[in-house]
Amino acid sequence: MGLALGFASAPIWGCAPDILPGSYLSETTLVGIETEVVELGPVLPTRAPLGEVALVESMPGDLLQIRALVLGADGQRIPDDALTSLWIQCSSSEFCTGADLEGLPDCELLLDQGVFTTDARCVLGEGDGAFRYEVPPFGSIGTLFLSNVLLGAVAWEGRNPRDCLDVYRSGRGSFDRCAVVRHLIFYGPTWQAQAYAGTLGLPTQVPPDEIPAEVLEQAPNYVPEVIAVWAIGSRGAMAAAEEGPLQIKVSPGERVNLWLGFDVAAQDLQSVFLLGAGADGIPEFTSGPEFINRELYTTGALQEVPVVELGLDVPDVSFVVDPDAEPGRSWAIVVFRDHRGGTGFESVEVEVVGGS
């Protein structure tokens, strides 16, 4: 597994049989980071979970969990206790590269000194696949961006994440059995966080008294909730599942299109207000929908087919079954992300019937 700085795949299709798309899981791979507020702090305590869906945006004093989504070559999630991780807070304006990583203090030391804020660049700590820490008080940079860059090294099968971080820092060595990722976390709800920062005398994107009441009511961000998964094969078969993983049967050479169905009512509540410049320099807010990206990973006899079309009938993702596939099981995993830090995934079990 190579250096992971993002999760966009670069598929290769129609080439030699031994050249597989980047989305094909030929080895253990870090495919995403899940963020969840597991305990609310004292700031904006009226935020409440939306059913069973994870709250993503955090505020100072919240207990935040950062969980690595690592998949094996069989498409199954690697358990948290089989992973080790090291996390660094880079601050909202830094990317933590090269010399920036030399001699970083522990965040706990800065906390003891009373100088640990969202602006600090420091080592948060080590853990397994699910790491937790308490969100620090806002700093001046954090309130302007309302986000923060975390740098994580995640390792498995006995690799030390510090070794992996050394490779990233020096540019020398191998990322075998590990990955390094830059992960963006978000503070919010956005405009309530801005108003709160204003009460602390910190800089904000807009004066708090110029934020309309309806904008302040923007809901906190939650992980998008999948309520159904649909599959349609090129040979006419259709399947859907509302609970548990979707299970489908396919034939060698068949193409399958997949769609994820999200809770429409919940997503309507996830509309966001964007700041623009109105007449005479007066701040102007416009409401827009939350966008959700989908990325496909496949195992076994399945390979991704890039979806480049646009339209209501266009699938979220698509794959094709190896025309020479023998009977057996493979997996298609769809990782989805919204643009404010919400990440999740759905797995589809694919059984190849018939064969060459």
Specify the residue for token string 């935040």. 64
Q: What pLDDT digit, counting tens, does each position of 164-207 carry?
A: 999 998 889 999 999 999 999 999 999 999 999 999 999 988 88
CA 350 to mean position of chain CA atoms: 25
What confidence tier does 14 reach under pLDDT thresholds 50, 70, 90? very low
How does DSSP assign 66-132, residue by residue?
EEEEEE-TTSPBPPGGGEEEEEEEEETT----GGGGTTPPBHHHHHHTT---TT--EEEEEESSEEE
What confidence tier does 255 reach under pLDDT thresholds 50, 70, 90? very high
Q: What is the pTM of this model?
A: 0.90
Range scoring the smallest mean pLDDT among 109-123, 214-228, 231-245, 288-302: 231-245
Q: What pLDDT digit, counting tens, does each position of 306-354 carry?
A: 887 666 578 999 999 999 999 999 999 999 999 889 999 999 999 999 7
- Cβ-defined contacts of 174-180 (< 8 Å, 24+): 175/1, 175/2, 175/3, 176/1, 177/1, 177/28, 178/1, 178/153, 178/154, 179/1, 179/2, 179/3, 179/4, 179/29, 179/30, 179/153, 179/154, 180/3, 180/4, 180/5, 180/151, 180/152, 180/153, 180/154
Domains of the chain by start residue, with CATH? 29-216 (no CATH), 226-352 (2.60.40)
DSSP for residue 166: H
Rounded Cα distance, 177 and 197, in Å: 41
Which parts of 212-282 are beta strand (E)?
226-233, 238-241, 246-250, 255-262, 272-277
Cβ(335)–Cβ(294) below 8 Å: yes
Q: What pLDDT digit, counting tens, does each position of 73-88 carry?
A: 999 999 999 999 999 9
Rounded Cα distance, 130 and 136, in Å: 19
β-pairing, 292-298 vs 130-134, is unpaired
Tell me which of 290 and 134 has the higher pLDDT: 134
Cβ(78)–Cβ(71) below 8 Å: yes
Question: In the predicted model, what is the mean pLDDT of residues 255-263?
Answer: 93
- 353: helix, strand or coil: coil
- Name the average pLDDT for the chain: 87
Query: Among residues 345, 223, 256, 330, which one has the least CA distance to residue 294?
Result: 345
